[in-house]
């Protein structure tokens, strides 16, 4: 197969952490051609999506004494070529948020790929329709008590009723801008005013889950089915558990309640073309659905001895084979 990955500039990626690199590496090991591009290198020509592409070859990371070790340099790129994305068997959309205008325009361009010819993961329309915070709200039986608002007084009433809450900007990633709100905090007005841009932009506010101290679980779903999980733990100096904020990771298992949550979201994910997804669960509650560039494969593979990237690529192989 030929696979294209739409990613951030490859020199910015961490081969020991980034799931995009794990997927590229798995595809290469399984004998496939891999190409990379960026959202700003996409075009529409004759009503078809095209891209400036470079073939990439990576040196697989090695597990040494419980740590991934990468070669230096760890990748090699070919010269650029301008090609139709329909020459690819699969196109992965893996650009990190925020989902700003540039990101949205890239998804509109990718709509001009015939999915009968090329599998696109995740669906451009699915990504547009699935804000990673808001998407979870439809699964009422799975989420904690949550509001979305730019109204300072409404947010205050919610926090006072709950005692404590977590405020999340709707468009950020990796824990950026997430704040802890507590009833009686003298900084409350300033926090909400800054986060909502003086009441112009809504934010998500969720009741604080004390179980967050025990970790924030990331579960990877492939076509709606859970294939692996890890627990993310706070560094101790930050209430957030995100790896990007210094959190650590630990081995974990998927509980019956978490399996039930996966079942609740599976049909809707498939319906929306969201094939490779990471959901976040705290204390048995769904908090986010990550559809743009969910990560965690490297950490799960290291902790569990799995090869999730291979599993994803093999699923793609079977899916494409079944279409022919």
Annotated catalytic, 324?
A: no
Q: Is pLDDT of 240 > 50?
A: no
Return the top range by mean pLDDT from 160-174, 181-195, 226-240, 261-275: 261-275
- Given the structure tokens 């190409």, which residue do they identify? 35
Q: Given 89, 280, 299, 301, which residue is catalytic?
A: 280
Q: Given 232, 241, 272, 301, which residue is catalytic?
A: 232
Distance from C-alpha of 278 to C-alpha of 190, rounded to nearest angstrom:
32
Which range, of 84-93, 112-121, 208-217, averages the lowest pLDDT? 208-217
For the segment 227-256, the average pLDDT, to the nearest whole number, is 76
Annotated catalytic, 168?
A: yes
Distance from C-alpha of 232 to C-alpha of 55, rounded to nearest angstrom:
34
- DSSP of 128-142: HT--TTGGGGG-TTT
Annotated catalytic, 133?
A: yes
Residue 190 phi, psi dihedral angles, 5° rounding? -65, -40
Q: Given 131, 231, 241, 290, which residue is catalytic?
A: 290
Which residues, 6+ apart, have CB-to-CB distance to 83 below 8 Å? 50, 51, 53
Q: Is pLDDT of 12 > 70?
A: yes
Annotated catalytic, 76?
A: no
> According to the model, what pLDDT value does residue 234 have?
77
pLDDT tens, residue by residue, 197-212: 999 999 999 999 999 8
Whole-number percent of the chain with pLDDT over 90: 85
Query: Measuring CA to CA, which residue among 50, 49, 56, 43 is closest to residue 3?
Result: 56
pLDDT bracket for residue 265 (50, 70, 90): very high
Annotated catalytic, 218?
A: yes
> According to the model, what pLDDT value does residue 246 have?
56
**Average model confidence (pLDDT) across the chain:** 93
Q: Given 18, 94, 122, 133, which residue is catalytic?
A: 133
Which range, of 64-78, 81-95, 173-187, averages the lowest pLDDT? 173-187
Q: Is pLDDT of 243 > 70?
A: no
For the segment 83-94, the average pLDDT, to the nearest whole number, is 97
Work out the number of other CB atoms within 10 angstroms of the CB of residue 105.
Answer: 13
Annotated catalytic, 240?
A: yes
> According to the model, what pLDDT value does residue 89 have?
97
Determine the 3-state secondary structure of 288 from DSSP: strand
For the segment 20-42, the average pLDDT, to the nearest whole number, is 98
pLDDT bracket for residue 174 (50, 70, 90): low
Q: Given 89, 131, 132, 168, which residue is catalytic?
A: 168
> According to the model, what pLDDT value does residue 171 have?
76
Which residues, 6+ apart, have CB-to-CB distance to 102 below 8 Å? 39, 40
Annotated catalytic, 288?
A: yes
Residue 260 phi, psi dihedral angles, 5° rounding? -65, -40
Buried b (16+ CB within 10 A) or exposed e, 129-163: ebbbbbbbbebeebbbebbbbbebeebbebbeebe
Q: Given 218, 299, 301, 302, which residue is catalytic?
A: 218
Which range, of 101-110, 130-139, 168-177, averages the lowest pLDDT? 168-177
pLDDT bracket for residue 236 (50, 70, 90): low
pLDDT tens, residue by residue, 145-154: 999 999 999 9
Q: Given 217, 240, 298, 302, which residue is catalytic?
A: 240
> According to the model, what pLDDT value does residue 184 have?
84
Residue 220 near residue 308, CB atoms below 8 Å: yes
Can you read off the two tokens belonging to residue 126?
């699915």
Q: Is pLDDT of 4 > 50?
A: yes
Q: Given 288, 298, 301, 302, which residue is catalytic?
A: 288
DSSP state of 118: S
């Amino acid at each position: 197969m030929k696979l294209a990955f739409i990613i951030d500039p490859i020199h910015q990626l961490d081969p020991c952490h980034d799931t995009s690199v794990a997927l590229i590496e798995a595809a290469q090991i399984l004998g496939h051609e891999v190409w990379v591009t960026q959202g700003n290198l996409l075009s529409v020509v004759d009503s078809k999506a095209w891209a400036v592409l470079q073939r990439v070859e990576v040196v697989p990371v090695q597990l040494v004494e419980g740590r991934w070790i990468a070669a230096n340099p760890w990748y090699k790129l070919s010269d650029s070529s301008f090609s139709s994305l329909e020459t690819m068997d699969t196109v992965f959309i893996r650009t990190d948020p925020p989902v700003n205008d540039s990101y949205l325009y890239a998804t509109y361009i990718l709509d001009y790929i015939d999915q009968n010819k090329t599998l696109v993961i995740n669906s451009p329309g699915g990504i547009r329709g699935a804000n990673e915070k808001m998407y979870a709200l439809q699964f009422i039986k799975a989420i904690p008590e949550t509001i979305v608002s730019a109204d300072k007084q409404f947010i205050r009433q919610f926090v006072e009723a709950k005692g404590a809450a977590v405020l999340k900007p709707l468009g950020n990633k990796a824990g950026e801008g997430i704040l802890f709100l507590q009833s009686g905090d003298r900084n409350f007005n300033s926090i909400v005013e800054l986060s909502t841009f003086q009441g112009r932009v809504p934010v998500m506010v969720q009741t604080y889950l004390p179980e967050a101290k025990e970790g924030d679980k990331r579960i990877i779903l492939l076509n709606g089915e859970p294939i692996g999980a890890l627990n993310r733990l706070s560094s101790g100096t930050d209430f957030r558990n995100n790896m990007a904020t210094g959190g650590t990771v630990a081995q974990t298992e998927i509980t019956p309640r978490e399996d039930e949550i996966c079942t609740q979201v599976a049909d809707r994910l498939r319906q929306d073309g969201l094939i490779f997804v990471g959901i976040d669960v705290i204390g048995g509650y769904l908090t986010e659905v990550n559809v743009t560039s969910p990560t965690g494969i490297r950490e799960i593979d290291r902790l569990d001895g799995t090869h999730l990237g291979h599993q994803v690529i093999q699923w793609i192989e079977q899916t494409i084979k079944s279409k022919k």
